[in-house]
Structure 1
Amino acid sequence: MSSSDAPLPAEPIAFDIDLTGHEMTRRAHVMAALGDDWDPVAALRGEEEAYDLLYSGLDAEQQRLYDALVAAGVLPRR
C-alpha cells in the first residue's frame, strides 16, 4: 500500500498557531518607527485637511460624480 492509498484520518487534526507574541513585536516595531514625536491627533487633522483640499474647487461634473460616490457609500459624507 503506497502513501497515496493510505486512508484519511477520520477526525480533523487540530492545527493552532498563536501569533500573539509576533503581533506584539510587530506593534512595538511600528511604534518605534513612528518615533516619540508622533502625534496621532495631528496626523488625523492633517488627513482631514488634505481631504478638504482634495475635494475643494470641483467643477460641476466632478461635483456630480463626487456626490454620486458619496450617495453610493464609496466615499464618506463630509
Structure 2
Amino acid sequence: MAPSDPAPTFDFAVDLSGHEMLRRTHVMAAIEPGWDPVAAMRREEEARALLYSGLDEEQQRIYDELVAAGVLPPGPGDAAA
C-alpha cells in the first residue's frame, strides 16, 4: 500500500446482549426481597425536594436557570422550607 492510500476500513460490531443479561441478573440478585420500588422513588423525590429547599435568592435564580436550560428536571425548589 502506498503512503497516500487511505487505511482500509472494516465493519466492527460487538454484541453486548449477553453482558446485559448478566448485568440484569446481578442487579436482581442485589435487590433485597422486601424492596418497594414505589417507596424508593417517593424517598428519592423527598430527598430531591429537600436538597433544593431553602435556597437563597441567588441560589434560586441559578436553580431556575438550570431547570430552564434542561440541566435539572423541574421540581419543587422549596418543598421543605
Q: Give percent identity, aligned residues only.
A: 67
TM-score, length-scaled by structure 2: 0.70
- Gaps of at least 5 residues in structure 1 are 5-9
User: Closer, same or farther in 2 for the Cα pair 1:20/1:58, shift >3 Å?
Assistant: same
**Aligned position for 2:26:** 29
Change (3 A) 1:62 1:22: same
Deviations 1:19-68 (A, max 9, x none): 32332122111111112111111111111000100111111111111111
Distance 1:69 1:15 in 2: 39
SS class of match (2:47)? helix
CA pair 18-71 structure 1, distance change in 2 beyond 3 A: closer
TM-score, normalization: structure 1? 0.72
- Using the alignment, how far apart are the partners of 2:59 and 2:12 within structure 1? 52
- Tell me which residue corresponds to 2:78: none
> Which residue in 2 is equivalent to 1:7?
none
Distance 1:65 1:15, change over 3 A: closer
Q: Which runs of 5+ in 2 are unaligned?
A: 2-7, 76-81
Structure number with higher relative contact order (C-alpha < 8 Å, ≥ 6 residues apart): 2
